[in-house]
Amino acid sequence: MSDSVAARPGISVVVPVFDEVDSLEELYQGITASCDRIGRGHEIVFVNDGSRDGSDAKLDELATRDPRVHVIHFRRNFGKSPALAAAFERVQGDVVLTLDADLQDDPSMIPEFVARIDAGADLVSGWKKRRNDPIGKTFPSKVFNFIVRRLSGIPLQDFNCGFKAYRIECIRELSVYGGFHRFLPVLAGAKGFRIEQLVVNHRARKHGVSKFGVKRFFDGILDLLTVLLVTKYRTRPLHFFGVPGMALSGVGVGLLVYLSVLWFIGQPIGTRPLLTLGLLLTIMGLQFVCFGLLGELLVRTTVAPREIYSIREAVRGRPAAIADAAAASNASAEIVTREDAPRPDPAAATRNDIPIISPEHVGD
């Protein structure tokens, strides 16, 4: 086994796989060629997400041929986020890249992603500026990216692109579950990590069929709401629920006040739909506020302070008083050594195997 294989890899490439057996050999060759050009040592972590087309056997063959290939087999199809989470727990490289197994992501661009990380970025997200996909896939993606960009404040053009690179410190602080793999840049941005984007060469699909569907679009919108709650309102859920709650209650109370005025001047209000609407809005608003208060209680009892911040670096200096005291202590020690301590034999100083013994212990 060569030194580059035995040593800890500098680059980890993570590839979730679901029914892509015809693409795996070409993908492996492309990843290996690109990483070998970098010359930093690498590993490839394939996650077989319950494939049923023989991908598992092909992945095992690759792992047998190349010890840098690691394969994780799921018992069934769990989804892309669990696949990434399983790989992220096991990667060893300082730079972690993810790309899809359908060959639409060009592995030859791996060195460019690594160069961006080396230049200071914590996360580099690919941008499929020119997509080789039908309009039924590109149009919903553009709408989705626009919504995410506006609500999250992260100015990326393509959140759905699976071709990304991460600094390992970024990986260690991100939780990937549900459908959160689409929103890793949003989660990283909330932690203060530096995010960049890189235009990638998007290729047409050669083998297999796309897994994209309308359901995935709506799943992404629901996951976005969860991400916004987690990133912007995790430590202040009352703000998330309280604002709409107060708005609903305000409208409801306004309607009830209006109806009360009518009742005082003698007009009947018992059969008016506004009475039911006012009561309903007031109750709904109070419920929202109560949800926020319950969320505040949960946050105070379950969220550890270290989970809500991210430290890039900690530098500790020595206060002047402590430094002066240390200097005085060292000076005193030097005086004792010069005046009171027994003088060692100069010849013994070059003989490290013989201990220096004071004169009063010579006869022991």
Residue 97 lies in a domain: yes
User: What residues pair up with 202 in beta bridges, in sequence order?
Assistant: 105
Both 91 and 194 in a single domain? yes
Residue 327 lies in a domain: no
The H or E element spanning position 46 is strand 42-48
Both 163 and 252 in a single domain? no
CATH code of the domain containing 8: 3.90.550.10
**What share of the chain has pLDDT > 90, as a percent?**
45
Structure token pair of residue 202 = 């998007």
Number of domain units in the chain: 2
Does 215 score more than 90 pLDDT? no
Both 19 and 144 in a single domain? yes
Half-sphere exposure of 47 (CA within 13 A, CB side): 26
Both 25 and 118 in a single domain? yes
**What share of the chain has pLDDT > 70, as a percent?**
79
- CA-atom Rg of the chain in angstroms: 31
More confident residue, 270 or 196: 196
* 108 touches 26 (CB < 8 A): no
Residue 164 lies in a domain: yes
Which of 283, 307, 331 is a domain's end point?
Answer: 307
Using CA atoms of 75, 163, 144, 247 in order, give the dihedral in degrees to the nearest 10. Answer: 80
Both 279 and 220 in a single domain? no
Q: Which residue in the block uniquely carries the two structure tokens 């149009």?
A: 139
Does 2 score more than 50 pLDDT? no
Stretch 106-127: mean pLDDT, rounded? 95
Q: Which of 65-79, 139-153, 189-203 has the highest mean pLDDT?
A: 65-79
User: What residues pair up with 163 in beta bridges, in sequence order?
Assistant: none
CA dist 199 → 7, 39, 40, 105, 113 (Å): 32, 24, 24, 11, 10
More confident residue, 294 or 325: 294
Stretch 340-352: mean pLDDT, rounded? 40
More confident residue, 200 or 227: 200
* 260 touches 276 (CB < 8 A): no
Query: For the ranges 141-145, 197-201, 317-321, which has the lowest average pLDDT?
Result: 317-321
Structure token pair of residue 305 = 């302070």
Summarised one tens digit per residue, pLDDT across range 145-178 is 898 898 888 999 999 899 999 999 999 988 887 7
* 328 touches 254 (CB < 8 A): no
The pLDDT of residue 240 is 80
The pLDDT of residue 326 is 55
What is the C-alpha separation between 354 and 348, in angstroms, rounded? 7
Residue 313 lies in a domain: no
Range of the domain at 303: 237-307
| Overall residue count recorded for the chain in this entry | 364
| Whether the predicted model's global pTM rises above the 0.95 cut | no
Structure token pair of residue 106 = 């060009």
Q: What are phi and psi of 198, to 5 degrees?
A: -135, 125
